[in-house]
Structure 1
Amino acid sequence: MNNAHLWSLRLGFSGKQASEIKKEGIKAFLQKSFAAPLPTDEPPLINKMPKTVEEYEALKKKMSLTEESRMEARKNYDDGVIDIKTWWIEKMDTSSYPLREKLVLFWHNHFVASSNITYRNYQHNQLLRVEAFSNFRELTKKAIQTNAQIQYLDNNRNRKGNYNENLSRELLELFTLGIGNYSEQDIKNGAKGLAGLTAGDDKGHYIKAKENNEPFIYFGKTGNFKADEMVDIIFEQKNAPYLITSKILKWFIYDNPPQDLVLYYGNYLREVDYEMKPFLIKIFTEEYDKPTEGSKIKDPLVYILQIINELGYKNIDYKLVHVFLKSQNMDLYNQLNVKGWEGGKSWITAQLFMQRNLVADRLCKGRLQNNNISKSAQTEKGYELKPKLIYETHNGNTGVIESLKNRLLFATDDTLEESFKTILPYDFDPKSQGAENGVLRLFNFIVKTPEFQLI
């Protein structure tokens, strides 16, 4: 696999950006990614969602009426949940500069939050999109005060005299410092500073009747601190840069990031006052030329979008991608717990690997179908898939094999090479009628190898 394809997968979700990375260079590509326009208009699908507690309660009431109204209300709600997921998957797949969406997905798995009021999930997601390349400290302040985050970590129940420590704990353990860099007393006192922070129409706000207004000690400082001041104090701690640095390295490059790199890049993050753009530029430009191929297992989203784009499919029913992600334990807005997706080897258990192979077969045969839509309706909507691989037509089987390897695999051995030549023997003519079927068989074989699962 050439370096441009490798980093197109790492900074996006497929190999579509490889030619631009190769032509412009990694630093220019990053600058264009930062400068790419950011549409902020709400998509029409938002109108289907309950936006407030009152609207959600009205929906639940409708579900309690007749069987017909219950089924209709449940379907509309479930459709809205799926719509916001497929809307986001489409953005990830179709963005010309997908690094922002890749980072949104990272923040989504860092500041894990979910609400039964679907619009709150959209608000949280959109904040992460707008602030994706901003300052990590300031993003933390905003993220923990979104309605979805407050609801997910039960801070609506956190009030003076009856403290709930969930948000206070995860702010330290999972969002900023990591285990071992704070005390249980910091958690208990932090809950006092977050008491009364309650979900509102647009974002969280403090309710006077519930908030604590007495001084407390937080990391050695005494005061009546609120959320923003608490975050500022957290980021003054000496180990503040290292948890997020480790997670960034793991998300983009290394399933097991070397500790020396965590310290090296973490120190730089503190040096640039937690600004994400220079931090990302330093990591990606310095790691770009290193031999890091094979250091990371592809997540299910990269796996399926890479195959879809290699096969040349232009009109995809993204609900089917959502179904695959759900089967692979990567359901958007629905992580198993606040720790988020573990990544690494958890993506490649025996069962999940078998599911990957199954979806590869279906995609290569143009049969990734929605069982709830008739074949004729899928054809009418353009969901009938017709593979169109791009490959070298000169130099016989060798040219075809090399052109696919260059995009798909970071390394091969003699056994694998012999398998390729068994599928496409020496006398294979890539210009002959029906040659594309042989190439498709080779492609299908490659994407089911252990080597293809790595980037």
Structure 2
Amino acid sequence: MNISQLQKNQHLLLRAGFGSNLSQIEKLESLTVTGIWKNLSANYSFKPLELKALPENLDYQKLAKLDADSKKAILQKNRKQNQEINLKFLKEMVHSEDQLREKMAFFWHGHFATRTQNSQFNLQLLNTIRQKALGNFGDLLTSVSQSPAMLQFLNNQQNKKGHPNENFAREVMELFTLGRGNYTEKDVQEGARAFTGWSFQPDGTFSEKPKTHDSGTKTFLGKTGNFDGNDALQIILDQKATSKFIVTKIYKFFVNEKPNPSIINHLSDRFYASKYDIKDLMTEIFTAKWFYNEENIGTKIKSPIELMAGIMRTLPMKIEKPENLIVYQKLLGQMLLYPPNVAGWPSGKSWIDSSTLMLRLQLPQIWSGLRPLEFAPKSDDDVEMGMKNAQSNFKNFKNANIVIDWDSVESVYKNKKVSDYLLQNKSSLSEKTVQEFSNASVKQRIINTMSTPEFQLC
């Protein structure tokens, strides 16, 4: 397959962001990947997500003392604010000029997977991840590890001298840094001792409690000393296995599900030597010639969020009931703020089953108002954010009340071959199908193209 400049440009925009918007489409064919990368990697000012009202802190000790109505009101406010955080994060993915930051934040959001009802903790962690997404991995790791959302999710408040809770130490090594096989059970035990006393105040402020910290000598990953949590994290970062684990995961997310051992080794050495500079790593990946090789283009299945955000960038739309977008996240299997477990979301072919594939293919038609939504949430799903009664609520759900600005879309695409701009992989698209598309209106061609299996790939 001959890789065109247009494909290369789209490849970079899809992988380093959430695809091209209408303003980029008009001149996309004439741009260079160097110019696009310069724009993607520019130093934009960071804008934290903010809620309409101050987050309601879930102090469970105080909550237990409240009457049923007061407790219900606080929990309901948290659910609504979690919905607000979800939708504002999605909005940034769709509309932010700082696409690289939001794509990296989306990656870290799945890597450092947490789940909490506390909207204050969710907002704090998400803004931390967004702010540090392209900075130093060690700084990001420390900030996330000391966040109330993570400490609560992995039970480190219960990690005390004499009664260590190993959950936090184990997951930090297994899922966030080293990966399995690069530490022992003894390291988990000693690491847990180092993290004793790490906790947070009711307002979410990180705190170290000397009375519950084990100040004894520990032997952790081959080093011996009176280590605390910060020492333990630094020892983890000193291991080259940490660099390789992170680079491998980033490569699989941004480049290809099948890692290239020689490239991984090279990138890992560079990442380690840079003292974990994330932006340097991403720059090397996205400016490398091998990134634009045929085997890396149009071979990755879009996650549900990537699919939704990509359509929303391609088709400018007014959404009357944006909260209903959370229903689509649930139906497609990826709700922001609600990973399935501490390992985060799966990837690749795990996104596709009989029900999700049909909805994926029909989504452009549903959002365009050409067909109704005929899928319902699974009744046995345990879902937060006010969606626990999704089965009954769904009866009143029609669609997100979307109005697409087709005039703007058609003006941009009227003299363009739609499939060249919307599909990265057309290997299985039949000539008959292409001919049918070409005979339709611009609007219908776009909807038809987005409704193909090939559109599920990026």
1:2 aligns with 2:7: yes
Residues 27 and 281, structure 1, Cα contact 8 Å, conserved in 2: no
Counterparts of 2:143 and 2:29 in 1: how far apart (Å)?
33
C-alpha deviation, 1:31, in angstroms: 6.1
Residues 177 and 236, structure 2, Cα contact 8 Å, conserved in 1: yes
Matching residue of 1:242: 244
C-alpha deviation, 1:58, in angstroms: 5.1
Which moved further from structure 2: 315-324 or 266-275? 315-324
Matches within 5 A, 1:9-24: 9-16=14-21, 17=24, 19=27, 23=31
Matching residue of 1:429: none
Q: Percent same amino acid at aligned positions?
A: 27
1:58-108 CA deviation, whole Å, 9 max, x = no partner? 55655614xxx6665554332112111111111111101211011111111
Q: CA separation of 1:22/1:276 partners in 2, compared to 1, >3 Å: closer, same or farther?
A: farther
Counterparts of 1:227 and 1:37 in 2: how far apart (Å)?
31
SS of residue paired to 2:162: coil
C-alpha deviation, 1:302, in angstroms: 1.8
Task: Find the partner of 2:453 among 434, 446, 450.
Answer: 450
C-alpha deviation, 1:422, in angstroms: 2.9
Counterparts of 2:58 and 2:303 in 1: how far apart (Å)?
34
Matching residue of 2:420: 406
Counterparts of 2:101 and 2:299 in 1: how far apart (Å)?
22
C-alpha deviation, 1:130, in angstroms: 1.4
C-alpha deviation, 1:241, in angstroms: 0.9
C-alpha deviation, 1:129, in angstroms: 1.3
Matching residue of 1:387: 406
Q: CA separation of 1:227/1:452 partners in 2, compared to 1, >3 Å: closer, same or farther?
A: same
Matching residue of 2:235: 233
SS of residue paired to 1:217: strand
SS of residue paired to 2:406: coil
Counterparts of 1:131 and 1:13 in 2: how far apart (Å)?
19
Counterparts of 1:371 and 1:288 in 2: how far apart (Å)?
42
Q: CA separation of 1:128/1:74 partners in 2, compared to 1, >3 Å: closer, same or farther?
A: closer
Which moved further from structure 2: 84-93 or 10-19? 10-19
C-alpha deviation, 1:316, in angstroms: 6.2
Residues 34 and 100, structure 1, Cα contact 8 Å, conserved in 2: no
**4+ residue stretches of structure 1 with deviation over 6 A?**
366-375
Query: Which structure is higher in RCO with an 8 Å CA cutoff and minimum separation 6?
Result: 2
Q: CA separation of 1:353/1:276 partners in 2, compared to 1, >3 Å: closer, same or farther?
A: same
Matches within 5 A, 1:125-136: 125-136=126-137
Matching residue of 1:50: 56
Matches within 5 A, 1:300-339: 300-315=304-319, 317-339=321-343
Q: CA separation of 1:411/1:124 partners in 2, compared to 1, >3 Å: closer, same or farther?
A: closer
Matching residue of 2:260: 258
Residues 332 and 356, structure 2, Cα contact 8 Å, conserved in 1: yes
Which moved further from structure 2: 441-450 or 127-136? 441-450
Gaps of 5+ in 1: 395-399, 426-434
Which moved further from structure 2: 288-297 or 22-31? 22-31
Residue identity in the other structure for 2:180 = I
Residues 255 and 297, structure 1, Cα contact 8 Å, conserved in 2: no
Residue identity in the other structure for 1:217 = T
Matching residue of 1:187: 188
C-alpha deviation, 1:193, in angstroms: 0.2
Counterparts of 2:428 and 2:182 in 1: how far apart (Å)?
48
Q: CA separation of 1:225/1:165 partners in 2, compared to 1, >3 Å: closer, same or farther?
A: same
Q: CA separation of 1:161/1:414 partners in 2, compared to 1, >3 Å: closer, same or farther?
A: closer
Residues 5 and 15, structure 1, Cα contact 8 Å, conserved in 2: yes
Residue identity in the other structure for 1:412 = K
Counterparts of 2:197 and 2:242 in 1: how far apart (Å)?
26
Residues 366 and 384, structure 1, Cα contact 8 Å, conserved in 2: no
Counterparts of 1:374 and 1:341 in 2: how far apart (Å)?
26
Q: CA separation of 1:227/1:72 partners in 2, compared to 1, >3 Å: closer, same or farther?
A: closer
Q: CA separation of 1:439/1:115 partners in 2, compared to 1, >3 Å: closer, same or farther?
A: same
Residues 63 and 74, structure 1, Cα contact 8 Å, conserved in 2: no
Which moved further from structure 2: 283-292 or 136-145? 283-292
Gaps of 5+ in 2: 1-5, 374-392
RMSD: 2.8
Residues 34 and 133, structure 1, Cα contact 8 Å, conserved in 2: no
Task: Find the partner of 2:443 among 418, 440, 443.
Answer: 440
Residues 51 and 85, structure 2, Cα contact 8 Å, conserved in 1: no
C-alpha deviation, 1:320, in angstroms: 2.9
C-alpha deviation, 1:160, in angstroms: 0.7
Which moved further from structure 2: 338-347 or 297-306? 297-306
Matching residue of 1:77: 78
Residue identity in the other structure for 1:2 = Q
Residues 420 and 442, structure 1, Cα contact 8 Å, conserved in 2: no
State the structure with more CA Rg: 1
Matches within 5 A, 1:170-181: 170-181=171-182
Q: CA separation of 1:405/1:189 partners in 2, compared to 1, >3 Å: closer, same or farther?
A: same
1:236-281 CA deviation, whole Å, 9 max, x = no partner? 2232211110111122121222222221211111121111111110
Residue identity in the other structure for 1:121 = N
SS of residue paired to 1:172: helix
Q: CA separation of 1:151/1:413 partners in 2, compared to 1, >3 Å: closer, same or farther?
A: closer
Residue identity in the other structure for 2:301 = I
Counterparts of 1:22 and 1:143 in 2: how far apart (Å)?
41
Matching residue of 1:397: none
C-alpha deviation, 1:341, in angstroms: 0.6
Residues 296 and 454, structure 1, Cα contact 8 Å, conserved in 2: yes
TM-score (norm 1): 0.85
SS of residue paired to 2:224: strand
Counterparts of 1:366 and 1:36 in 2: how far apart (Å)?
39
Counterparts of 2:204 and 2:73 in 1: how far apart (Å)?
28
Counterparts of 1:306 and 1:15 in 2: how far apart (Å)?
8
Counterparts of 2:260 and 2:138 in 1: how far apart (Å)?
24
Q: CA separation of 1:300/1:170 partners in 2, compared to 1, >3 Å: closer, same or farther?
A: same
Counterparts of 2:107 and 2:44 in 1: how far apart (Å)?
19
Matches within 5 A, 1:288-303: 288-291=291-294, 292-303=296-307
C-alpha deviation, 1:366, in angstroms: 6.7
C-alpha deviation, 1:211, in angstroms: 0.7
Residues 148 and 204, structure 2, Cα contact 8 Å, conserved in 1: yes
Task: Find the partner of 1:39 among 37, 42, 47.
Answer: 47
Counterparts of 1:361 and 1:62 in 2: how far apart (Å)?
47
C-alpha deviation, 1:413, in angstroms: 4.5
How many residue pairs get aligned? The number is: 426
C-alpha deviation, 1:2, in angstroms: 2.0
Counterparts of 2:38 and 2:29 in 1: how far apart (Å)?
9
Residues 92 and 102, structure 1, Cα contact 8 Å, conserved in 2: yes
